[in-house]
Amino acid sequence: MELKITDLTKDFRKTRAVDQVSHTFQSGVYGLLGVNGAGKTTLMRMLTTLLNPTSGAITWDGEDVFKMDKEYRKLLGYLPQDFGVYPDFTVQDYLMYISTLKGIRPAAARARVQEMFHLTGMTQFKNKKMKSLSGGMKRRAGIAQAVLNDPKILILDEPTAGLDPSERIRFRNLISELAADRIVLLSTHIVSDVESVAGQIILMKDGKFLVTGTSEEIIGSCPDRSWICNIPKDQVLTCHQRYRVANVKTLADHAQLRILSANEPMPGAVPEDTSLEDVFLSYFGEKSGGEDGNGMV
Amino acid sequence: MVWYEIKKVLLRPSCQIALLLLLLLSGRFCIQVMWGSENAYWINEDGQMETGYNAMKKLRAAQAEWSGELNQELLEKALTELKQAESEGESHPEDPDYAYKRCQGLQNIRALMNNAFKSNYVWKYEDWYLAETLEPEQLSDFYENRTRQLKDWLYDENSSGYQAFSEQEKQYLISCYESLETPFEVGYTTGWDMAYRISYYIILYGSILMAFLTAGIFANESRWKTNSLYFCTVLGRQKGTAAKLTSGFLLTTIVYWGVLLTVNLITLGLMGFEGGSCPIQADYHNWNRIYNITFFQRSVYALADGYLLWMFLSAFVMLVSAASGSLSLSAVIPSLLMLGTDFLDRHGYVEKLSDVIRLFPHKMATAYGNESVVLYSVFGKIMPPITIQRVLYFCLTILMAIGCYQIFRRKQVR
């Protein structure tokens, strides 16, 4: 079970969305981290055959996935970022329809849909129309449709975007449950999501893979480290201009800053353990404050 | 899969409104045609005009006395009755409608006589009282006159027909006229005529509403942002796309035949089935038509042509829908094709393109109602537009369905 991308490139007119990326995915959860516009969605759309690459190859166990066509798509489960639904279908209709599209026979589909209701806790909502579901419930229906065919490759594009904290935790746990014996590729710009479920992390920027590895390896690769500095409140702005500030905590008589720097930024700065969020900020800098950045610094 | 596609369409409130409008529109056309005085009326004893079902019952009973083979005997009988009513009418100066009221059952035969003995080949008689001036011995020329008028029109250097047709086309027209079986049958045919007229309106205007039903089949996938999921499923690009096309055509078929057959059966049930075996020329309005078909055949052909027209439009709508991903564009473009060309055609804005415009789809709905004679020569064979349209739109429907399938299954999602 090996999904391999080799020199994968995608150009949109003058923009290069994905730039010669290569990687081999084997069983496990992969977290794809990057800011908006990093090329994550384009990469995922190529992996799901929704887009043809400009150059490079995607192979499954050595076979070109575009030549495999239906055989490859049989292995796929996909939850898109902009997950749309058929508004007038009930949840049950929706899942039965997707089962049909996935080539699951009706009797097997009925049983599988029931399983999905239990897995996602949607049994009581099965007769609700899709348009009446909350964002969190829609995402649950989304994950249910993605795993209906018990896919070998599960691709989840920003699955927790727009969810409240409790829904996000529920969702992360669900992904962990589903991770056994399959490749799960989870794209997000919410660091804590990746940190909690992904065995392997890929940092993506400007269409390229910056760093890949485990959480520890990624943290170890970061040239900066974290420092805690206590400064007078009126110097906060100056520090913002001089250093990469990961966090500001305003206390009664002073401010406490978390600064990312290779060297001691100021006398009295106390070194701290570097987190994945610090690494994210170190690599992506100002751009990392995109929408939904509640998992970041 | 087809069922889910149909369900997607039928569950949309806009489609439910379109279907409801189609039903209301059909009802409106039924009332307009059945109760409209231009289609059938009865002058009662008080000289008042009656329309609608009751008028139809009286007209039907009166015409039943004058139905049968329109041979010399019936023509002479009608002429005698007309003359007698006219002379008796002179002794009833207080009632100017006396003669008309007495002869309401044979007014169609009178108009046929007027047509047969009018001085030249024009589409309608000019003198309503021409029939009363005829002598019985003249009536033997009743059928021959029809062909003679045509020949005069085609070969008289001063007539409009002289320049309008090639020799081959003239021979074609003459052969159409000569092959009409005579003497033909006359009788009450209003039920069939009304059913045909109602069908025409529904086919033309209903097709616009039908476009709204099929417009979303492909376009909604991108509108609802379900396309990215749809295309990465096992069957989405192949069987899924085929199912979408099938559902579009199936929906068109069910709605078309459901509405048209119901409306035709109701109209014929109310207004009468009789007269279906009469040739269309038995109605004086159709005296100059080149199609040698009965009223029943005309209805069958018109419904079949209308079905082809709707299937063509469905294929066109789905093609635009699949290519553009836009719901409004896919609903509007085919509507423009139907109503826009109809408008240009009616107002003569495109004189130079008139020969081409006559082959446009909106003309299929009026194939047997066109008063002007237009012929086309294809590989040396002369034929009316409807023959070309049938082949053309059948082929285009298939080509567009294939095109739609190929475009949609290769869609990429950015």
**Domain end among A198, A218, A238:** A218
> Which of A12, A73, A80 is nearest residue B233 as measured by Cβ atoms?
A73
Q: How many CA atoms lie within 13 A of B318 on its CB side?
A: 34
Interatomic CA distance for residues B135 and B228, integer angstroms: 81
**pLDDT score, position A296:** 33
Q: Given an 8 Å threshold on Cβ–Cβ distance, is B224 in contact with A87?
A: yes
Interatomic CA distance for residues B186 and B276, integer angstroms: 10
Q: Given an 8 Å threshold on Cβ–Cβ distance, is B229 in contact with A93?
A: no
Interatomic CA distance for residues A268 and A138, integer angstroms: 50
Residues of B in contact with A49 (CB under 8 A): 231-232
Interatomic CA distance for residues B138 and B225, integer angstroms: 76
Q: Given an 8 Å threshold on Cβ–Cβ distance, is A85 in contact with B226?
A: yes
- Together in a domain, A189 and A243: no
Q: Given an 8 Å threshold on Cβ–Cβ distance, is A51 in contact with B235?
A: no
Tell me phi and psi for residue A210, to 5 degrees. -80, -55
Q: Given an 8 Å threshold on Cβ–Cβ distance, is B234 in contact with A78?
A: no
Give the torsion through C-alpha atoms of B260, B264, B270, B271, to 10 deg. 140
> Which of B4, B234, B413 is nearest residue A70 as measured by Cβ atoms?
B234
* A40–chain B nearest CA distance, Å: 12
- Together in a domain, A186 and A238: no
pLDDT grade for B382, boundaries at 50, 70 and 90: very high
Interatomic CA distance for residues B366 and B165, integer angstroms: 22
One-letter amino acid at A53 equals: P
- Together in a domain, A279 and A256: yes
User: pLDDT, tens digit, for every residue of B223-274?
Assistant: 899 999 999 999 999 999 999 999 999 999 999 999 999 999 998 998 889 9
**Domain end among A179, A199, A218:** A218
**pLDDT score, position B393:** 94
Tell me the count of A-B CB pairs closer than 8 A: 80
Residues of A in contact with B2 (CB under 8 A): none
Q: Find, among B39, B340, B306, B312, the residue nearest to B199 by Cα.
A: B306
- Together in a domain, A96 and A184: yes
Q: How many CB atoms lie within 10 A of CB B354?
A: 14
CB of B325 within 8 Å of a chain A CB? The answer is no
Q: Given an 8 Å threshold on Cβ–Cβ distance, is B235 in contact with A87?
A: no
Please give the residue of chain A at the shortest CA–CA distance from B410: A50
- Together in a domain, A236 and A285: yes
- Together in a domain, A281 and A182: no
Residues of A in contact with B229 (CB under 8 A): 78, 80, 83-84, 98, 145
**Cα separations (Å) of B333 from A287, B76, B136, B310, B399?**
44, 56, 58, 14, 18
Burial class (CB in 10 A: 0-12, 13-18, 19+), A206: middle
Q: Determine which of A114-128, B172-186, B249-263, B325-339 has the lowest per-residue pLDDT on average.
A: B325-339
CB of B413 within 8 Å of a chain A CB? The answer is yes
> Which of B12, B225, B232 is nearest residue A78 as measured by Cβ atoms?
B232
B349: pLDDT strictly greater than 90: no
- Together in a domain, A146 and A266: no
Calculate the average pLDDT of chain B. Answer: 88
What 3 state SS string does chain B have?
CHHHHHHHHHCCHHHHHHHHHHHHHHHHHHHHHHHCCCCCCEECCCCCEECHHHHHHHHHHHHHCCCEECCHHHHHHHHHHHHHHHHHHHCCCCCCCHHHHHCHHHHHHHHHHHHHCCCCCCCCCCCCCCHHHCCHHHHHHHHHHHHHHHHHHHHCCCCHHHHHCCHHHHHHHHHHHHCCCCCCEECCCHHHHHHHHHHHHHHHHHHHHHHHHHHHHHHHHHHCCCHHHHHCCCCHHHHHHHHHHHHHHHHHHHHHHHHHHHHHHHHHHHHCCCCCCCEHHHCHHHCCCCCCCEHHHHHHHHHHHHHHHHHHHHHHHHHHHHHHCCHHHHHHHHHHHHHHHHHHHHHCCCHHHHHHHCCCHHHHHHCCCCCCCCCEEECCEEECHHHHHHHHHHHHHHHHHHHHHHHHHCCCCC
Query: Which run of H or of E encompasses A203?
Result: strand A200-205
Buried b (16+ CB within 10 A) or exposed e, B8-22: bbebbeebeebbeeb
- Together in a domain, A19 and A136: yes
Interatomic CA distance for residues B365 and B52, integer angstroms: 25
Q: Given an 8 Å threshold on Cβ–Cβ distance, is B228 in contact with A51?
A: no
Residues of A in contact with B9 (CB under 8 A): none
One-letter amino acid at A268 equals: G
Q: What is the rounded radius of gyration, in angstroms, for the C-alpha atoms of chain B?
A: 25
B350: pLDDT strictly greater than 80: no
**How high is the ipTM of this complex?**
0.84
Interatomic CA distance for residues A289 and A281, integer angstroms: 9
User: Residue A229 in 3-state DSSP?
Assistant: strand
- Together in a domain, A31 and A72: yes
User: Residue A130 in 3-state DSSP?
Assistant: helix
**B2-10 vs B241-271: helix axis angle to the nearest 10?**
60
A191: pLDDT strictly greater than 60: yes
User: Residue A145 in 3-state DSSP?
Assistant: helix
Interatomic CA distance for residues B46 and A71, integer angstroms: 82
Number of domains in chain A: 2
- Together in a domain, A156 and A23: yes
Q: Find, among B192, B124, B117, the residue nearest to B148 by Cα.
A: B117
Interatomic CA distance for residues A79 and A178, integer angstroms: 14
CB of B406 within 8 Å of a chain A CB? The answer is no
**pLDDT score, position A288:** 52
- Together in a domain, A204 and A274: no
Interatomic CA distance for residues B155 and B195, integer angstroms: 37
**pLDDT score, position A289:** 45
Q: What is the CATH number of the domain that holds A15?
A: 3.40.50.300
Query: Which run of H or of E encompasses A138?
Result: helix A135-147
Q: How many CB atoms lie within 10 A of CB B138?
A: 15
Interatomic CA distance for residues A43 and A157, integer angstroms: 10
- Average the pLDDT over B368-377 and give the result: 78
Q: Given an 8 Å threshold on Cβ–Cβ distance, is A87 in contact with B413?
A: no
Q: pTM here?
A: 0.86
Q: Find, among A256, A252, A276, A253, the residue nearest to A266 by Cα.
A: A256
**DSSP tag of A273:** P
B167: pLDDT strictly greater than 50: yes
**pLDDT score, position B354:** 67
User: pLDDT, tens digit, for every residue of B40-76?
Assistant: 788 888 888 888 888 888 888 999 889 999 999 999 9
* B329–chain A nearest CA distance, Å: 21
CB of B7 within 8 Å of a chain A CB? The answer is yes
- Together in a domain, A240 and A272: yes
List the 233-292 stretch of B: residues with Cβ below 8 A of A. 233-236, 238, 240
B36: pLDDT strictly greater than 80: no
Q: By percentage, how much of chain A surpasses pLDDT 70?
A: 96
Q: Given an 8 Å threshold on Cβ–Cβ distance, is A88 in contact with B235?
A: no
**pLDDT score, position A290:** 43
Strands B381-383 and A208-213 turn out to be: unpaired
**Domain end among A171, A199, A218:** A218
**pLDDT score, position B351:** 59
**pLDDT score, position A297:** 29
Q: Given an 8 Å threshold on Cβ–Cβ distance, is B7 in contact with A93?
A: yes
Determine the structural domain holding residue A286 and report its residue range. 221-295
Interatomic CA distance for residues A115 and A136, integer angstroms: 19
B347: pLDDT strictly greater than 80: no
Please give the residue of chain A at the shortest CA–CA distance from B240: A101
Polymer length of chain B? 414
Is the CB of residue A109 less than 8 Å from the CB of residue A100? yes
> Which of B226, B233, B235 is nearest residue A84 as measured by Cβ atoms?
B226
Q: Given an 8 Å threshold on Cβ–Cβ distance, is A51 in contact with B238?
A: no
User: pLDDT, tens digit, for every residue of B99-151?
Assistant: 888 888 888 999 999 999 887 766 666 778 888 888 888 898 999 999 999 99
Burial class (CB in 10 A: 0-12, 13-18, 19+), A163: buried
